């Protein structure tokens, strides 16, 4: 029986606009060097603060990709 194997990476994306944009930045950057991304799961949100103001949104995500079979 043939099955599939997936690798999971944990990433943190940042944005000065929103948590959604931070997640999008992480996925887009990973897609430049990792093939066949399959699923992204949001793990955590947080913010960077300076002088009581939000300076950056951060989103921690887990992304998975399929491991290719060796020939």
CA distance 58 to 35: 24
User: Distance (Å, rounded) from C-alpha 51 to C-alpha 67?
Assistant: 45
**Per-residue pLDDT for the chain (71 aa), expressed as one digit of tens each?**
468 889 999 999 999 999 999 999 999 999 999 988 989 999 999 999 999 999 999 999 999 998 887 76
pLDDT of residue 54: 96
Per-residue pLDDT, 1: 44
State pTM to two decimals: 0.84
**Record: fold of 6-66:** Dodecin subunit-like (3.30.1660)
């Amino acid at each position: 029986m043939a099955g599939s194997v997936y690798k999971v990476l944990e990433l943190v994306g940042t944005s000065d606009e929103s948590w959604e944009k931070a997640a999008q930045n992480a996925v887009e950057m990973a897609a430049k060097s990792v093939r066949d991304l399959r699923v992204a799961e949001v793990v955590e949100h947080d913010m960077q603060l300076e002088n009581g103001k939000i300076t950056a949104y951060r989103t921690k995500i887990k992304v998975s990709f399929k491991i290719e079979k060796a020939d």
